[in-house]
Structure 1
Amino acid sequence: MPRNPKRPCCYGGCPNLTGSKSGYCEKHEKPMQRYYERFARGYRQHERYGSVWRKIRDRHLAREPRCEMCKEHGRFVAATLVHHIKPLGDGGRYDESNLMSLCISCHEKIHRRSRER
């Protein structure tokens, strides 16, 4: 199967070509990911979501293995993510009442709506 043609790196002034999904060449991909993690997300993900969160997430997915939003529409889709209904940054907690199992597309829909506000 033929590959897509390489594109210029998204980093300003970089002459390198890349086939990466991120749009950055090998030289700029890691620094831009660090920039995103630190400044665009507003927190350090690894500090907030450690081993305790992974245990809670795994327990919740075992209890509720289907996407809750898809289930409301009569679809049966496996959940891969656990979403905080009230974000941790806004005072949300790891309580079961504040968690919901979602598939990737439903999780993206929720976050797209919150960014548009």
Structure 2
Amino acid sequence: MPKKPKRPCSKPGCPNLTYGRFCEQHQKEENKRYETYDRDKAAVNRRYGRVWKRIRDSYVKSHPMCEKCLEKGLYVPVEEVHHIKPLAEGGTHDRSNLISLCKSCHSRIHAERGDRWHKNSG
């Protein structure tokens, strides 16, 4: 598969070209912003260890593009592998419960669910 051409960084006013959504500098900022929201780090580490990394890497090899964007005819590289039914709700790492997503689509799903980006009030 030929490499796609670089495109402008999605950060307004940034002149850099990139293969992803953001240039390297702005991707670091985006990752930092994304990780600032509260998540139980111990629970995350229990659920997402070395086994998950192998499963995720295997899934990405067979689904290298965001599956939601592909439905719209857009070719956006995968950035997240999402559990359709969350592990906390009894979901598994089974391939039928996974979907490849870009950060935008992943964020949209969690925003619609209302299960992230809100501080726990208790």
Tell me the equivalent position of 1:59. 58
Deviation sequence 1:2-38 (CA, Å, 0-9, x none): xxxxxxxxxxxxxxxxxx9979xxxxxxxxx7x9343
Q: Does the residue aligned with 2:85 lie in a helix, a strand or coil?
A: coil
Aligned to 2:16: none
Q: CA deviation at 1:47?
A: 1.3
Match of 1:79 in 2: 78
For 1:114 and 1:37, the matched residues in 2 are separated by 15
For residue 91 of structure 2, what is the amino acid of its counterpart?
G
Q: Distance in 2 between matches of 1:101 and 1:75?
A: 13
Alignment of 1:66-105 (within 5 A): 66-105=65-104
Q: Structure 1: which 4+ aligned runs deviate by more than 4 Å?
A: 20-23
In 2, Cα distance between equivalents of 1:115 and 1:37? 14
Length-normalised TM-score, structure 1 = 0.64
- Tell me which of the two structures has the higher relative contact order, counting C-alpha pairs closer than 8 angstroms and 6 or more residues apart: 2
| Aligned residue number for residue 113 of structure 2 | 114
- TM (norm. structure 2) is 0.61
Q: Which protein shows a greater Rg?
A: 1
User: 1:92: Cα distance to partner?
Assistant: 0.5
Q: State the Cα RMSD in Å.
A: 2.6
Question: For the residues of structure 2 that align with 1:98 and 1:62, how far apart are their CA atoms?
Answer: 16
Equivalences for 1:9-28 in 2 at 5 Å?
none
Aligned equivalents of 1:111, 1:65: Cα separation in 2? 21
Letter in 1 for 2:38: Y
Mind listing any 5+ residue stretches in structure 2 that lack a counterpart? 1-28, 116-122
One-letter amino acid of the counterpart of residue 66, structure 1: M
Secondary structure, counterpart of 1:113 in structure 2: helix
What is the number of equivalent residue pairs in this alignment? Answer: 84
Q: Deviations over 1:64-102 (max 9, x none)?
A: 000000000010100111000001111111111000000
